[in-house]
Structure 1
Amino acid sequence: MAPAIKCLIVLAIVALLFITELIPLAITAMSGAIACGLLGFIPAKQVFSGLSDSTVVLFAGMFVVGAAMFHTGLAQKIGISIVRFSGTSENSLMFGIMIVGAGLSSVLSNTGTAACLMPVVLGICAAAKIPASRQLMPLAYAAGVGGIITLVGTPPNIIVSGALKSFGYEPFSFFEFAWIGIPITVVAIAYMMFIGKYLLPKAELDANQEIEQEIEATVHDSKKQIISGLILAVVIVVMALDIKFISLEMAAVIGALVCVLTGCLTEKQAYASIDWVTIFLFAGMMPVSNAMDKTGAGKLIAEWAVSLMGGAPTPIIMTSVLFIISCTLTQFMSNTAAAALLAPVGVAISQQLGASPK
């Protein structure tokens, strides 16, 4: 059996396990990398090369910098201020919630953003006698779409950027996603304000109901809140300016170190804030991507996809197909896993068409 076919079988098994989650995602990804090494698709020394990839460092650094905003209570304070400023009418409250949700999630964890704002929204809804579900669902959507505005807004953005880099292309810059992310966010907010609100449920929730927090505020020192906010702002500015002697990874790690040194969060909290599932998922899928490239499995998928589309599909058609596939997969599996799985396929198809992988 040809190496390309064997690699495709490994990829299919990995995809099936991602969808079913019979075993944890991180274990599936790392097992895929080990399988590629055992089968000789890649040298043994490359099996765990993903753990030394600079993108992993970027992930870790931004997880810590973002967590400092939650641990100091700054994210919660921003949310409370803006949401309360919006007033208690259903429309103005919904607009305020979606703006702050999208804004915070563009540079912080979208899960953490939603979690820290939920108690705020519940309390205001109870006081204003507004069904909480009519505000919580817009919050969830805003946190989701806001994450696509910047490179660090959501793990899939960093993963596809890392895939480009692994194939020898220029990775995405910090605000490159914003050209599409901001218009989509604006459309999502407008849709919810003028159409979606008529489709929202009207379930009542108790403001005192226990809400499981992703990250709770552990200190409420205004000085540390200011410091954590300044650290995040400086990191974002440095990343956006794309300074030659300071890479994105260096900016993220320096920011994380300063967060710990200034006491915005403890060393243990810094370790705990890192999403290790995302780290190992990315690190495991990088060698699988290399195996697809070296065995020709990626090219085989690209040729099959192109022939299925009539032999000479336009880049727009193939982009649409990949978009539909990824949207479908994320209904059954983690969007991070879907991005890690499809990113090398997208690059291979782009190469086959002679189009830009971006």
Structure 2
Amino acid sequence: MTAQVATLLAILAAMSVSFFAELLPISFTALMVPVALQATGILKPAQAWAGFANTTIITWYGLFIIGGAFVKTTFTNKIKHFVNRNAQGSSVRVTLMVLIACSVIGMMTSAGGTIALLSPLLLEICKDTGMDPKKLFKPTADVCNWASVQMFPIGGSIAYFMWFNSYLEQTGSPLRYGLFDFTFIKFPMWLILVAYYLFTSRGQKLKSESVAEVAEVAEAPTPARYAPKEEKVIVTIFFLNVILMVVASMTKIIAPYLVSLFFAAVIMGKGYLTEKEAFQSISWQTVFLVAGTLPLATAINVSGTSTWMVGLVQQMFPSMTNPVVLATAFAVISMVVTQFMSNLAVWAVFGPIAASMAVSLGMDPRLVLAGVGVGSIICFATPMAAPAPAYAYSAAGFKMKEYIKMGWFPCVLMTVVFVLWAPLVLNWLY
């Protein structure tokens, strides 16, 4: 272990202790991560602070502002009444409607972008129904994160499919993943994850609202922030932004963040939000949490920590003969590591070693590599695991202990389901 590896591990340990014990505000702790990485010389200034120029963060700025204007329209009341009317006092129905919506949008865009789009509506639904925001935002983030990566060969998931096949190619193996291989693995697991969160959402007492009450409220004059024409423009901007971001994500004609920033500029230029209101609409805790911890992936690579971690894995499994056991090991390791770094970084670190180890041991590398691919998406235990969990953490007002308490069991559940299901489906396919 080199001095830089030891230093980075110390920074990770200090960050984790501060996060979990909540010794300091979480945004402050996250902001100190790039400070420490630059001060110790692990990263150069441009690398340490690159998180604040990340395209996800830039996209969020626009989405926050658009959502800040949208939530002030009376259109949100119509959506809330629709949810109330169809939920019929059932928190399970509310959760199901939200999880289906977030999965569909997530598959076509990204998990972080989706929860940012839906956040204003989710907060209003929780306020109107009396539902606990934590029990709605947490399932939304986890299910959306699961659906948006590799569950169907749509949008960015096609790139991930090609990425994983490139790992197989680099090992010299003639084997490749079929276009729907991960769909057969992940879609049944999505059903289980949704079922789990529907089960945990039971028993919440919601505010009841009869059809007559809905009609009465809808007809009653409500003080409005905007004139009718202005409301139509804002609602059009909100939904047009969603549609164009989906198109941009799937076609790559233009960067999605340019779409959100353009419409945010229109909101500001038309005076629908003041400068103060626009800044207040941005969740700075979320920005600091994600932007501050993103450089850890770069630090893990440049410091040699990734090589050190790979060496540990090779020492732990020098002569494995069972591909299911090796796939399980990589799934567990990836699931644990991804709680503290992005799934892309986990793939980059463990994907090549998983594929090469499987080939060298005479195994089908597709199952072993799937352990890395799926394990890295089981990022439910901490808000540092991905942008969507970080957004949910801030928006719902979680404490770290609350988040971990809600997140550890889904991690274990999905890991066990993968171990039991993936070998069966891949054996059937191949």
Same fold (TM over 0.5): yes
The verdict on how the C-alpha distance between 1:202 and 1:6 changes in structure 2, with shifts beyond 3 A counting, is: closer
Conserved? CA contact 1:3–1:41, under 8 Å: yes
Conserved? CA contact 2:92–2:202, under 8 Å: no
One-letter code of the match for 2:296? V
Partner of 1:320 in structure 2? 331
Q: Does 1:233 align with 2:243?
A: no
1:247 to partner: Cα distance = 0.5
1:353 to partner: Cα distance = 2.4
Q: TM-score, normalised by structure 2?
A: 0.56
The verdict on how the C-alpha distance between 1:263 and 1:150 changes in structure 2, with shifts beyond 3 A counting, is: farther
Q: Which runs of 5+ in 2 are unaligned?
A: 106-113, 150-155, 168-181, 210-222, 356-368, 374-430
Work out the CA distance in 2 between the residues paired with 1:26 and 1:192: 28
Q: Does 1:99 align with 2:97?
A: yes
Partner of 1:349 in structure 2? 350
1:244 to partner: Cα distance = 4.1
Partner of 2:273 in structure 1? 265
Task: Summarize the alignment of residues 266-285 of structure 1 with structure 2, pairs less than 5 Å apart.
Answer: 266-285=274-293
Identify which range, 252-261 or 301-310, moves more after superposition. 301-310
Structure 2 residue matching 1:32: 3-state secondary structure: helix
One-letter code of the match for 2:9? L
1:57 to partner: Cα distance = 0.8
One-letter code of the match for 1:270? A
Identify which range, 73-82 or 339-348, moves more after superposition. 339-348
1:192 to partner: Cα distance = 6.6
Work out the CA distance in 2 between the residues paired with 1:273 and 1:23: 23
Structure 2 residue matching 1:71: 3-state secondary structure: coil
Work out the CA distance in 2 between the residues paired with 1:118 and 1:141: 13
Conserved? CA contact 2:62–2:257, under 8 Å: yes
Per-residue CA deviation, residues 5-60 of structure 1 (Å, 9 max, x unaligned), is 22222222222222222112222222222222222212234332322333321121
Partner of 2:301 in structure 1? 293
1:63 to partner: Cα distance = 2.0
The verdict on how the C-alpha distance between 1:262 and 1:108 changes in structure 2, with shifts beyond 3 A counting, is: farther
Task: Summarize the alignment of residues 1-358 of structure 1 with structure 2, pairs less than 5 Å apart.
Answer: 1-84=2-85, 86=86, 88=88, 94-95=92-93, 98-100=96-98, 103=101, 107-109=114-116, 112-122=120-130, 139=136, 143-145=140-142, 147-148=144-145, 149-150=147-148, 196=199, 200-201=202-203, 219=225, 221-242=227-248, 243-309=251-317, 316-318=327-329, 320-322=331-333, 324-325=335-336, 338=339, 340=341, 344-354=345-355
Q: Which runs of 5+ in 1 are unaligned?
A: 123-131, 152-157, 170-177, 208-216, 328-337
Work out the CA distance in 1 between the residues paired with 2:134 and 2:57: 32
The verdict on how the C-alpha distance between 1:137 and 1:276 changes in structure 2, with shifts beyond 3 A counting, is: closer
Conserved? CA contact 1:98–1:138, under 8 Å: no
Partner of 2:406 in structure 1? none
1:258 to partner: Cα distance = 2.0
The verdict on how the C-alpha distance between 1:284 and 1:72 changes in structure 2, with shifts beyond 3 A counting, is: same
Conserved? CA contact 2:37–2:299, under 8 Å: yes
1:248 to partner: Cα distance = 1.3
What is the aligned-residue identity percentage? 19
Structure 2 residue matching 1:41: 3-state secondary structure: coil
Conserved? CA contact 2:87–2:93, under 8 Å: no
1:339 to partner: Cα distance = 5.3
Work out the CA distance in 2 between the residues paired with 1:182 and 1:274: 33
Conserved? CA contact 1:101–1:142, under 8 Å: yes
1:219 to partner: Cα distance = 2.6
Identify which range, 298-307 or 309-318, moves more after superposition. 309-318
The verdict on how the C-alpha distance between 1:102 and 1:139 changes in structure 2, with shifts beyond 3 A counting, is: farther
Aligned alpha-carbon RMSD (Å) = 4.3
Partner of 2:393 in structure 1? none
Conserved? CA contact 1:102–1:145, under 8 Å: no
1:99 to partner: Cα distance = 0.7
The verdict on how the C-alpha distance between 1:35 and 1:201 changes in structure 2, with shifts beyond 3 A counting, is: same
Work out the CA distance in 1 between the residues paired with 2:76 and 2:327: 39
Work out the CA distance in 2 between the residues paired with 1:224 and 1:76: 16
Conserved? CA contact 2:47–2:298, under 8 Å: no
Conserved? CA contact 2:337–2:346, under 8 Å: no
Conserved? CA contact 1:83–1:97, under 8 Å: no
Structure 1 residue matching 2:71: 3-state secondary structure: helix
Conserved? CA contact 1:113–1:143, under 8 Å: no
